[in-house]
Amino acid sequence: MRELAPQVLGALVRRYGDFEACEDAVQEALLTAALQWPREGVPDNPKGWLITVASRRRIEVFRSEAARRRREENAFLLEPPDVAPPAQLDDTLTLLMLCCHPSLSPASQLALTLRAVGGLTTGEIARAFLVPEATIGQRISRAKQRIKASGAEFRMPPPDERAERMKAVLHVLYLIFNEGYTASSGDDLHRVELTAEAIRLARQVHAQVPDDGEVAGLLALMLLTDARRPARTGPGGALVPLAEQDRTRWDRAAIAEGVELISDAMATAPIGPYQLQAAIAAVHDEAARAEDTDWREILGLYDLLRVMAPGPMVTLNRIVAVAMVYGPRTGLDELERAEKDPALAGHHRVAAIRAHLLEMAGEAEAARAEFKLAAARTLSAPERRYLEAKASA
């Protein structure tokens, strides 16, 4: 039902408009299915069944005048509306494009995508991002109102807007995955419901645009990164850094799928930032041991990524690669220059990387101070415990 929900919602919005009313109708159809299907069995065409039930509910709500109600119901019983779209039509991508409308803030795009396309409840989204449920509810409600006020139609954007809108869709999925893989705050390192949903939605987008190299790159990046998740935590949920992970616990099937995806994409499509990040992840995943990692290749990929999609996290990750190739002193020099960027001022990762590089350089006391500083700055409890343990060691 979670897979069908966005397709059913898309069909209703395409026919009736009014995103919010259609979503309510779809939710009621899903509730009816959840109660009825276990007793009576799943219908032969579950998507068509849901569309019909949701459409009837939408029509019932639309009938607001009591004097017309009986006449309309009789007409409806005599001639049921033709609500089912062509069987092959899947509106998921169109719905994603609508949820990532440029009039919405990134936070609203995230919440609306998880609600309308992912099928997560408002409470699930709130728990995932550690904010009050009322906040998420207001965010989703405002997003729907803004879409309605903008006059956006339920259709694919015109060709000249499609690339930018697809970029927004991929960015939203990327943010959902990242928040699930390394939660920005709270007691848990992972929020599996978010990583799983991001991968599921990325698969759906890839199925609809299989020749888009960046879509394939993003899906590959998610698979190659998530493959390490079983080894990222130890007893009690303690964080285990990449170099210390038990690589026998990595998901080899996910790695193989990710490597195949990125290899095909880089051979057949224009190179983009998600492909470069996936290629970096593949180099890590294909190393049998941490010491076998080809850091020169990783540095070369980061040099390309820095030109194509510069950003503070790219800068920091590249500095780690520089240190692994040319030594910790060179990395420390680059870090000193990089932290002048206001976006990195006071960031816990700057202190954490400096601590690791100082440790590599043999400066234990200075490293200890930086580990303690990084621990004080992070909002993630698992990261804080790891950094405090490094300081103690």
**pLDDT averaged over the chain?**
87
Q: Which of 128, 98, 103, 127 is nearest to 113 (CA)?
A: 98
Q: Which two tokens stand for residue 107?
A: 């936070």
pLDDT the model gives residue 21: 84
pLDDT the model gives residue 233: 87
Phi and psi for 44 in degrees, rounded to 5?
A: -60, -35
Judged by average pLDDT, the poorest of 61-70, 133-142, 277-286, 369-378 is 61-70
| Residue 250, SS3 per DSSP | coil
Instruction: Give residue 76's pLDDT band: very low, low, confident or very high (50, 70, 90).
Output: low
Given a cut of 90, is residue 3 above it in pLDDT? no
Given a cut of 70, is residue 69 above it in pLDDT? no
What is the arithmetic mean of pLDDT over 241-265? 96
Q: Which of 175, 177, 209 is nearest to 191 (CA)?
A: 177
Bridge partner list, 380:
186
The string of pLDDT tens digits covering residues 306-323 is 999 998 999 999 999 999
Instruction: Give residue 226's pLDDT band: very low, low, confident or very high (50, 70, 90).
Output: very high
Q: Which of 14, 52, 128 is nearest to 115 (CA)?
A: 128
Residues whose CB falls within 8 Å of the CB of residue 154, separated by 6 or more in sequence, listed in order: 10, 13, 14, 17, 91, 94, 95, 98
What is the arithmetic mean of pLDDT over 53-74? 68
Domain ranges for the chain, please list them. 5-78, 91-152+160-209
The string of pLDDT tens digits covering residues 116-125 is 887 778 887 8
Q: Which residue has the higher pLDDT, 214 or 19?
A: 214
pLDDT the model gives residue 288: 94
What is the arithmetic mean of pLDDT over 330-348? 91
What is the arithmetic mean of pLDDT over 205-234? 94
What is the arithmetic mean of pLDDT over 367-375? 96
Judged by average pLDDT, the poorest of 50-59, 62-71, 99-108, 311-320 is 62-71
Q: Which two tokens stand for residue 109?
A: 């795009």
Instruction: Give residue 86's pLDDT band: very low, low, confident or very high (50, 70, 90).
Output: very low
Given a cut of 80, is residue 330 above it in pLDDT? yes
pLDDT the model gives residue 81: 47
pLDDT the model gives residue 75: 57
For residues 95 and 104, what is the distance between their CA atoms, to the nearest angstrom?
14
Q: Are 295 and 319 in contact (CB under 8 A)?
A: no
Q: Which residue has the higher pLDDT, 28 or 189?
A: 28
> In angstroms, how far is CA 132 from the centroid of its own chain?
20
Instruction: Give residue 73's pLDDT band: very low, low, confident or very high (50, 70, 90).
Output: low
Given a cut of 90, is residue 206 above it in pLDDT? yes
